[in-house]
Amino acid sequence: MRLQAIKLAGFKSFVEPTTINFPSSLCAVVGPNGCGKSNIIDAVRWVMGESSAKTLRGESMSDVIFNGSNKRAPLGQASIELLFDNSLGRLQGELSAFTEISVKRLVTRDGQSAYFLNKNRCRRKDIMDLFLGTGLGPRSYSIIEQGMISQLIDSKPEELRSYLEEAAGISKYKERRKETERKIIHTRENLDRLNDIREELANQLIRLERQSKAAEKYNELRKQIRSTRGLLLGFRWQKLAQEIVEREKEIDQIQIDRDRYVSEQRRLDSDIEVCRTDLVRLTNDLSDRQKVFYDQGTEIARIEEGIQFYSERNRQHSADLAEVDDTLKQLEKNLGTDEEKLQELELDLSESNPRSMENKLLEEKSSRHLGQLEEKRHQFQYDWNEFVEKSSELLRKEEVHRTKIISLEEAIKRSRDRVDSLKKQIDSLVQHPHEEELIPLKREVESQELEVNNILEKSTYLTQALIRYRKTSETISHAMDEKKDQLQRLSGRSSSLEALQHQALGEEDDLEVQWLKTKSMEKHQRLGAEILVDDGWDLAVEMVLGDFVQALCVDEIESPEVFFRSFSKGRLAFMFPSKNNQIIVDDDFLSSKVRGNSSVHALLRGIRVAPDLSKALIIRGSLKEEETVITRDGFWLGSNWIRIAKDKKTSGTVIQRQKELVSIKADIERLEAEIKSFEGVFEEAREKIRGAEDDRETLNKELKNKQTALGISREKLGEKTFQVRQIQSDLVKLSDEMQGLNVRIKQDEINLETEKRMLTEVEKLSEADNNQREELLEVRKDLELELKQTREKAENERASVHQYELMIQSIESQIESTRDAVKRLRNQYQELSTRRRSLLENIRASEEPINDLSIKLKEEISKKATSETSLATARSAIQDKELRTRDLESQRRQCEAELEKSRGNMEEVRLQRQTVEVRQSALKEQLEENGNTLEEVLRNLDLQNKEGYDSVSYEDQLEKLIKRLDRLGPINLAALDEHEVQSERKQYLDSQNEDLENALSTLESAIKRIDTETKERFKETFDKVNDKLHVLFPKLFGGGRAYLEMTSDDLLDSGVGIMARPPGKRNVNVHQLSGGEKALAAIALVFSIFDLNPSPFCLLDEVDAPLDDVNVARYVDLVKEMSKTVQFVFITHNKIAMEMGDHLMGVTMQESGVSRLVSVDVNEAVAMVAS
């Protein structure tokens, strides 16, 4: 895959669309500094996905767009397109079928980039993936810019490794490994979240299953309530329908009265209409007369305006005529003046022409003499230049010898100073620290590593304790949730029982409760709520007490006759404290079964108890007159009577409910205490968790500090180690340099003596030239004086000629302008005369209409007086007719009042009917909301009415169903659907959990495969590059050797270093080489990588800059050899490097800020020269 061409448009200095073709394997780009050569390298790097503006030598990405110049405005976008020849099919995948690959990038001023692959929009990642493994990329070893050679060789081991990875083609594996690791992390996070959700969901399903069963029972009761409520609403709807029929009859009677009033109203309307018709006729007649009257007034005003118009017009014409007469007089005066001036100018012109001709002849003579002198001066200047050139050569030689002498003396002085400085440096370096001083630093690093490991162990222990605390917290939380569910159910049951109890004790009777509030007695307890009954005797006690169960327990009522005077409706009972505090209770009597309020014993006095009916019958025979006997199952026997009570209420008796309420409240208090206890334990567990988390955070901070300190110590050790090695290396370099300086001083002293001898010879020749220079200067002085005098004379004569020519031109111009002025004045005089005649005619024509209009004005004033009398007569007739009309309208209003009254009655009855209909409609809506249709309910009512059902029956049945529903307590109606949904979700999550576990296993296997293949490829590449470096390094250096070494044994993460030994030197790290040696070493490394995995092309930007001619020649030979397999595009200023290019491209900047391209095929140029 070769780089075929680059298309630039608006990129940096390439403002115009430019196509750079690369037809050969060696293409050179040349040009002066600052012309934009390196912008070509930036363009390739940018289009391959470079996102750092700093790398592209800018501050922001918009800096790559042409920013304008002195002559050009800034552009709004920039684009680069690379064309690749893929005829060999090096690119794999979908693009292997294309022989030409196009990669394009476009950026606008807002910083938005767009990428295109074969004209199709794509992502930056797609472009990066395209070049993975090929050796190409925005920061790969195939693009070497200015200064990057030294950066490459000075790279850290980790950075140098990346170049080998790219050559090995494993960069794409690293990207895939990172992507796989991210997927593993996400998969594990998803598994953790999924397990939490599944565990929570399982707990929810247990609770939802219990709630769904209660919801089913609730729905069945709701269905029965809906049916019963529908029948009740239908029954009420029928009653309202009968009321509507009665209202319809009232409406019919009111309508008869309204018809009578409407007939009378129509008669009055007819009479009013006749009056209004006469009134309209009279009004129209009045309007006609008014129109005539106003028209006459308008005509009079128009005539008066006409008279005023013509009078004003005459005054204006007279003023214009006076102005025209004044202007004509001024024109006659100006015309005479201009004609006199014209005669004077023509006379001056005739006198000036002869003088001008004489001056021209004198000027031509002086010019010829001046030309002869100029020719003589040019000949002298030629002789003078030859002399100066000869003299300058002697001076130059003298100056060169003096400069060399000074330079050699300074060089000798610098070398001697440098030798003294080197001696001092060597003495100083000998006193610097050695390897023995590294031992304390190493011990410090080992101690800090031990502290870091101890902290890591403590952190692991805290993490395990934190897991235990969290599990304990979750267990307590689940137990607490169960207790809260029990508390919620008991609270719901308690609320239902309290509502039933309030109703049974009469605490919901509005009239009675309102009356008790007026007496401030609504807070007193009912008897049923204050007594406790032994188990099994609830029914018997409630049967005996009857309505006294609802009795209010009060202390005393003062003035009962006054107190109860305001109680007008309902039933109430009051219980007062017993006055006998020493009540003896016999176990054979019912009062022994009751505890609590002692007043109840008075109501139970004389009632014996029996376990069953047979026993009661036996006791009945021995009863006293005031005694009775009762069984626990509801048989109450007297001496001559029996009462039976079997409770039909499923909710139990008042006393039974009161017992249950007491029991439930005790359970609620117990559960609240247990929940409070759990909350304390839970909060204690949370405190432990928070404490453990704080301790772990503290340890993490301490660990971070220790690791930072360890890093600093390691860095100090590394710096000190490097310093010791650097000192050893510097000692060797300083000794070699001092030896070379001593040799150079001896050679410079010999050269100094030679230069002093040559300077003496040149000074003798310079003395002879000084005599000849004085003679030539005297001749030049005389010639310059004569030339100056002649030139001044010629200039004066030329100025005189020019002055006369200007004067003649001025006179001719004045004559022409004066003639035009005379002509213009005559035309104006003629036009004003014509206007004067026109104004005189207009004045005469305006005087006649004024007389005619005055006569007509008198006639119109007379007609207007007659019309005014007729107008008054018409107005009187209209007033009489309006009086009659108002009388009829008064009668009509009385009729309307009666009609409005009947209408009000009608509306009232209709409103009553509408109210009933609204109530009926509301009932129908309630039926629809209840899920019933009116027709269906009415059919069911017809059937049930035959069986004797009425409104009360429906209300009782509905009340019983509602009580049964209330006893169910709080119901989660969504539990049915939620249980089904959550069950399906549980199955889905279980399946998802299995898929995630399988995916995690697959990803971990993929990581292992990638690591194995990465190690194999990297080791193979490392060995091959090392072998090639052994060959190329001696070739470039003319000897020596270099090799790569790994910084660790881990093939996945180990960095790579390079060691070099130039000829005549010991093994050193490349960082210790000179600039030129670093450049050669970097070139050797890059070409070693190229040999292993040649990238399709290589871009070199002034790589040869730090090399001397000998090394450039070696570099050129190597590039030529490599060009057989790699395409090279290189930027250079070196003539030797230029010679190797098959195709030269020159970049110029003739226009400031704008780069242009000039290409030359070297082979074609050579062939053309040869022909």
3-state secondary structure of 571: coil
d(CA 644, CA 630): 10
Q: Which helix (H) or strand (E) holds 144?
A: strand 143-144
d(CA 1070, CA 1082): 9
DSSP structure class, residue 609: E
Pairing outcome for strands 77-85 and 100-108: antiparallel
Whether 337 maps to a domain, the answer reads no
Whether 222 maps to a domain, the answer reads no
pLDDT of residue 29: 93
Structure tokens belonging to residue 687: 């405190």
3-state secondary structure of 432: coil
pLDDT of residue 651: 45
Whether 194 maps to a domain, the answer reads no
- The residue assigned the tokens 């809506």 is 925
Is there a contact between 607 and 630 (Cβ–Cβ < 8 Å)? yes
pLDDT of residue 105: 92
d(CA 305, CA 925): 81
- Give the list of residues 6+ apart from residue 648 with CB closer than 8 angstroms, or none: none
Structure tokens belonging to residue 992: 């998802």
Whether 526 maps to a domain, the answer reads yes
Query: Distance between the two ends of the chain, CA-based, in angstroms?
Result: 35
pLDDT of residue 648: 45
d(CA 349, CA 808): 7
- The range of the structural domain enclosing residue 617 comes to 501-655
Is there a contact between 47 and 124 (Cβ–Cβ < 8 Å)? no
Whether 626 maps to a domain, the answer reads yes
Is there a contact between 934 and 924 (Cβ–Cβ < 8 Å)? yes
d(CA 576, CA 654): 21
Q: How many structural domains does the chain have?
A: 1
d(CA 330, CA 334): 6
| Count of Cβ atoms closer than 10 Å to residue 803 Cβ | 12
Q: Residue 1159's beta-bridge partner residues?
A: 1145
Is there a contact between 941 and 238 (Cβ–Cβ < 8 Å)? yes
d(CA 1062, CA 1067): 8
Is there a contact between 1033 and 1062 (Cβ–Cβ < 8 Å)? no
d(CA 1022, CA 1045): 9
Whether 326 maps to a domain, the answer reads no
Q: Please report how many Cα atoms fall inside a 13 Å half-sphere around the Cα of residue 1087, on the Cβ side.
A: 28
Beta strands in 510-633 (DSSP E): 532-533, 552-553, 574-575, 594-595, 607-610, 628-631
- Give the list of residues 6+ apart from residue 840 with CB closer than 8 angstroms, or none: 321
Give every residue of the chain whose pLDDT is below 50, as ranges.
Answer: 648-651, 946
Tell whether pTM > 0.95.
no
Structure tokens belonging to residue 364: 């031509």
d(CA 1140, CA 1117): 9
d(CA 791, CA 944): 147
Is there a contact between 713 and 448 (Cβ–Cβ < 8 Å)? yes
Whether 418 maps to a domain, the answer reads no
Is there a contact between 543 and 643 (Cβ–Cβ < 8 Å)? yes
3-state secondary structure of 782: helix
Whether 746 maps to a domain, the answer reads no
Pairing outcome for strands 1127-1131 and 1097-1101: parallel
Of 1166, 1132, 1159, 1164, the C-alpha closest to 1144 is 1159
Pairing outcome for strands 1127-1131 and 26-30: parallel
* Burial label, 903 (beta-carbon count in 10 A; 0-12, 13-18, 19+): middle
Q: Which helix (H) or strand (E) holds 644?
A: strand 642-644
Residue 520's region, left for phi above 0, alpha for psi from -120 to 50, else beta, is left
d(CA 897, CA 265): 11
